[in-house]
Copies of this chain bind each other. A is one copy, B any other.
Amino acid sequence: MKITPDHIQSTNKSREIIHAREFNFLAENLEKRGLNVESLIQKLRDLQIAIPSWALGTGSTRFGRFSGGGEPSTLIQKIQDVGIIHALNRSSDSVSLHIPWDIPQDYEAILQTAAEVEIGFDAVNSNTFQDQADQELSYKFGSLANNNKDIRDLAIAHNKEVIQIGEKLGSKALTVWLADGSSFPGQHSFRKALNNTYESLQEIYRELPKDWKMLIEYKPYEPYFYSTVIQDWGTSFLLANKLGEKAFTLVDLGHHLPNTNIEQIVATLMTEGKLGGFHFNDSKYGDDDLTVGSIKPYQLFLIFNELVAGFEETDNPSPAWMIDASHNLKDPLEDLLQSVEAIKLAYAQALIVDKKALEAAHSSHNVGLGQEILQEAFRTDLRPLVRESIRQSGGAISPIHSYRELKVRETLIKERGKDSKASGL
């Protein structure tokens, strides 16, 4: 299925009057506060969030998987799905591939399909946390961190191959999520695992094209349950600093211990110019991979508040944005549309924060006022602004409602069947 401008127009029609009324009222209010609405809209239009290829099918937990229907079973179909999202919200103009789940067979066909739906290729992701069917050496006890040099070499070679694939597609970054760790005290040496990892990353880093970045993810636990080699931002930052100026830290919102102040980590990384990218999702307990903004929307806003301020006040290069979620219960496309909307809403809230007043509150140590200024932005209902930005980009005023009205899922099921299954978790 392909979403056409006609589709968009037809579903927008019923919303236009209400939307115009709400947007005009809001715009007037914002202008009164001294904000430039046109500029806000442009910034919102510019924010593009990549869609990961593995988030287009039904996810699972270790306890099981409850299938959805109409899942994309080929890379072409995955790109088409991202195309559907992008046609609806004009906010997701790239896909992030996961190798080896998505190794292109026919690059030309892939690139053509992508071009047709106006989709580019964001960071490519390597996978050394699973063994492939024909793999002789196993990653069971680690890959880049493994004591066994042959296994490390296998994992290094895989990462280099991922870079090569990415180059052919126009990607500009390699994301390394290293699951390596241990489940029991005594399983391995922390120091050796760290040193092995550093040396392995060095070898991969050397292969990195000049205009590429290496994004190093961190995570405290899972799939191992006692330690992870790159357990926190500090370890990722340490490695990125040693590797060089093309290496950066990537923040996944779900990869933190309980109660972590993530927005401060974001601020610290930007201060040091080392925030390389973001994996958006939400969570209550661990790496729950829930819809962005569904659990802690205020935290999401506070993170964007740091991002927006950091863009203006630091030299941190523009980070890669991506959703990283797992859709065990919801239609993946609905979930992704909700996630992108939540991200844009938080971004809009951060954009209207009265920064001068905030700085004045900081200087005068007026704690209550500082809180109030942030809450003022958060409590303002900016959905009409986000909707207008999508509308102006040619998208649907309410992407998720258009999605439902257009019966996209039903059509996909018809096209692909009830039991098609996407590769991924």
Residues of B within 8 A of A311 (CB): none
Residues of B within 8 A of A372 (CB): 186, 338, 400
Given contacts A187-B367, A290-B184, A368-B331, contact A258 B261 (CB under 8 A): no
Interface residues of A (CB under 8 A from B): 22, 25, 29, 59-64, 66, 129-131, 138-141, 147, 179, 182-192, 194-195, 220-223, 225-227, 231-235, 237-238, 257-261, 263-264, 267-268, 270-272, 283-286, 288-291, 293-298, 302, 305-306, 309-310, 313-314, 326, 328-331, 334-335, 338, 345, 358-359, 361-363, 365, 367-375, 378-381, 383, 400, 425
Residues of B within 8 A of A192 (CB): 362
Complex CA–CA separation, A339 to B164 (angstroms): 46
Complex CA–CA separation, A285 to B42 (angstroms): 38
Residues of B within 8 A of A138 (CB): 66
Query: Given B233, B258, B270, which contacts A257 in the complex, CB threshold below 8 Å?
Result: B258
Complex CA–CA separation, A364 to B340 (angstroms): 25
Given contacts A62-B62, A191-B271, A226-B284, 8 further A-B contacts (CB under 8 A): A62-B223, A182-B367, A186-B358, A190-B268, A194-B271, A226-B290, A257-B257, A258-B259
Residues of B within 8 A of A263 (CB): 185, 190
Q: Are A367 and B63 in contact (CB under 8 A)?
A: no
Q: Are A267 and B191 in contact (CB under 8 A)?
A: yes
Query: Given B183, B231, B288, which contacts A367 in the complex, CB threshold below 8 Å?
Result: B183
Complex CA–CA separation, A205 to B80 (angstroms): 51
Chain B residue nearest in CB terms to A301: B185
Q: Are A63 and B258 in contact (CB under 8 A)?
A: no
Given contacts A226-B290, A263-B190, A295-B298, contact A284 B221 (CB under 8 A): yes
Q: Are B184 and A371 in contact (CB under 8 A)?
A: yes
Show 14 residue pairs from A and B whose CB-CB distance is below 8 angstroms, ordered by the A residue.
A61-B62, A61-B222, A62-B425, A63-B179, A63-B223, A140-B365, A184-B294, A185-B302, A186-B361, A186-B370, A190-B306, A234-B235, A258-B258, A345-B379
Residues of B within 8 A of A362 (CB): 147, 187-189, 192
Q: Are B268 and A186 in contact (CB under 8 A)?
A: no
Q: Are A225 and B62 in contact (CB under 8 A)?
A: no
Residues of B within 8 A of A373 (CB): 186
Given contacts A268-B238, A338-B371, contact A140 B361 (CB under 8 A): no
Complex CA–CA separation, A284 to B262 (angstroms): 12
